[in-house]
Structure 1
Amino acid sequence: MRLRRLAVPAAVLVALLGIPVAANAAPGQGDNLAKAATATASYTSSWESVAAVNDGIDPPTSNDTVNRRWGTWPNTGEQWVLLTWPTAQTLRSADVYFFDDNGGVRLPASWRLQSWNGSAYTDVTATAGYPVAANRYNAVNFNPVSTSRLRVVLQSGAASVGVLEARAYATAIGGTDPGTPGGWNPPANLVTPLNQVWQHQEQTYNNLYGFRNYGWDQIFANGGSVNYCVRWDSSAPVSAALRDRVHASLARQFKKWMDVMVGHNGWPYQTVPLKVVGWAVRDRSTLQWSDNSVDIYVNNIRENAPQCSEPCGRFFNQSGSYPNCPGGITHHYDMSLWLTAGMNGGAGGDWGQRIGSEYYVGALDADNIHILLHEMGHTFGLDDFYDWTPTGVGGFLMQAGSAAQITEFDAWMFRDWWRHLKSRYGR
């Protein structure tokens, strides 16, 4: 099953660029209540910003060099960041993404949450301890508290400490609705259209279950991560700073689909890290950096465009073995982000996503890069809806031109794929 779809005609693209988009919903939860709070801190380095901790921007890694950050260098010892609401909130979970630049700011030795009881800060009662890990959110469930202040207290270890993002919720992370293993509980109004969609897919694609290179397969083959290579089908120069922004933006958009699954129906991953391992170009001088952070492929032309090394690509080596890939499996890529100069609309499938380079570069800071999100949906098997609409729904991302973000119906279609395929991963 190789999906190659034109997503959005140029006229629709122009119209959609003016559509306002909603703020991020919390992964597997309701709204992230932290975004409504005011952030303060024990200390903030003069070049950092405490407002970073609840600005709603998901970090690509703990060493985020693109978005603003909160850090306490050179201060060490106990440090804290405080979220304050104008009125009391009932909270029962939170997650924190730590700042770690492999230098003066490192992961904390430990951390805890405290709530304000009206006269003092008291530790919340966490149900399963406080994890400390890089490159992901560290989630904590706790006994419900009603408070107007939630404080994240960090104890430094090898260096100073910092936080990239802190989120707070009124529900438990990985809770029972719909997060219990084996659970499937879509809203009542979506049951009929979801069944229609799945029946349509089964009737349309004869190899629906036999196909083994969906995005789901790629993630599980890697044990919960994904690698990309960028096909830069353009003569426009790329600086190191632009390269890093491309990587960060791609990770943020991919994470939006992954967040749909967190805590749902036995999905085993809190985060699915994305790494860009290479760039392909016609002319090496197009890439204006000299470091070796990614592999570079020059003038390897396929489909009249620069192609990343085929021996390193999963599309060409679906056994999961890469014996002829220079550097071995760590340098392999699962998908390509194919950026084509002058292209309108897009295409997507198990090989990756293709969209216009000018469109993508112009949207790097956008909350939702809707054409890319649409094409990522195809990578995981979601279909187009050019000639029919399921009963009772309309205006969703996979119905090209009708929405500019992942909607509730898109999210439940995505989860429905997992429901039907998860048994092949032993879930």
Structure 2
Amino acid sequence: MIKRNRVGAFLLASALCLTPLSSQSAVPFHMNNTITASAESISDMPADFQYAADWIWQNRIEREKSTVRRNTIFDQIVAGKGTINYVVKWQSHRTVTYEQRQKFEKMLSDCINAWNDWLAGYENWPYDHIDVKIVGWAVIDKNCLLDLHDDEVVYTDTKYYDAQYDTSNGRDTIPDKEPFAPSELSRFDHFTEKNYQYPGGLDNRFDMYMWATQGFPDIGGCGGD
């Protein structure tokens, strides 16, 4: 049985704080060596990390009830049997080439597996490697996807996006349209339904968006649930 523990939350929070995801450019992240946790359980945690792990657990994990909601990245990976799927939400009028789109999946895989390498075998975490896939693109303008291939899945539905309270980068206007993928394929919309069946099977679902917004501040990225 996989324990939902503090050190996992600590390692994940630390790794994601260092992960560069920018709406302006994709920066490849490379891990040349596979690193695994030297300790085997939370009782073996180095004392230097204990205070930080306890603080994150008490002030973020417990307070936000993320372990109760069962929709952390850990939950998504376990439900996906060692996989995690993204839809790219391209809230932008900028063009992106086929070659650039091909690099998105590798960038996400490098980022996810950079922290998974530390968790492999820790507290019975069963996955040595996470299979990361981009299963679609949600766009406000399909023409932004240059050299579109037949095997690429594209969603063009949009809704109004109120950006009046958003902080922009000062150079670009944040679009007032937000693209989205079908709700029936979204784990976020259905993770509380234990017997829910995704149309086309589990491999067709998406666990979260990678949301790229034209005009987003130059801070790298942010996350939410």
Structure 2: distance between partners of 1:228 and 1:302? 22
Structure 2: distance between partners of 1:193 and 1:256? 20
User: 2:188 is matched with which residue: 303, 315, 328?
Assistant: 315
Provide the residue aligned with 1:301 in structure 2.
159
- Which letter does structure 2 place at the counterpart of 1:330? D
SS at match of 2:155: strand
Q: How many residues align?
A: 181
Provide the residue aligned with 1:274 in structure 2.
132
User: 2:39 is matched with which residue: 178, 182, 188?
Assistant: 178
Structure 1: distance between partners of 2:72 and 2:100? 29
- Which letter does structure 1 place at the counterpart of 2:34? A
Superposition map of 1:15-164 within 5 A: 26-28=34-36
User: 2:119 is matched with which residue: 252, 261, 271?
Assistant: 261
Provide the residue aligned with 1:349 in structure 2.
224
User: 1:230 is matched with which residue: 88, 105, 123?
Assistant: 88
Provide the residue aligned with 1:334 in structure 2.
207
Provide the residue aligned with 2:97 in structure 1.
239
**Alignment of 1:290 onto 2:148:** yes
- Displacement of 1:22: 10
Structure 2: distance between partners of 1:230 and 1:310? 15
- Taking only the aligned residue pairs, the percentage that are identical comes to 27
Q: 1:203 to 1:311 in 2, by over 3 A?
A: closer
Structure 1 residues without counterparts, runs of 5 or longer: 1-6, 14-20, 30-176, 351-427
8 Å CA contact 2:157–2:181 kept in 1: the answer is no
8 Å CA contact 2:66–2:72 kept in 1: the answer is no
- TM-score, normalised to structure 2, is 0.70
Q: 1:201 to 1:338 in 2, by over 3 A?
A: closer
Provide the residue aligned with 1:105 in structure 2.
none
**Alignment of 1:191 onto 2:50:** yes
Structure 1: distance between partners of 2:33 and 2:110? 13
- Displacement of 1:196: 3.1
Higher relative CO (Cα under 8 Å, sequence separation at least 6) belongs to: 2
Q: 1:288 to 1:201 in 2, by over 3 A?
A: closer
Instruction: Give CA deviations for 1:127-185 in whole Å, capped at 9, x if unaligned.
Output: xxxxxxxxxxxxxxxxxxxxxxxxxxxxxxxxxxxxxxxxxxxxxxxxxx413xx5531
SS at match of 1:260: helix
8 Å CA contact 1:312–1:322 kept in 2: the answer is no
- TM-score, normalised to structure 1, is 0.39
SS at match of 1:232: strand
- Which letter does structure 1 place at the counterpart of 2:78? F
User: 1:210 is matched with which residue: 56, 68, 71?
Assistant: 68
Structure 1: distance between partners of 2:211 and 2:127? 27
Structure 2 residues without counterparts, runs of 5 or longer: 1-16, 23-28, 162-176
SS at match of 2:90: strand
8 Å CA contact 1:178–1:265 kept in 2: the answer is no
Structure 2: distance between partners of 1:276 and 1:266? 27
Q: 1:193 to 1:241 in 2, by over 3 A?
A: closer
Greater percentage in helix = 2
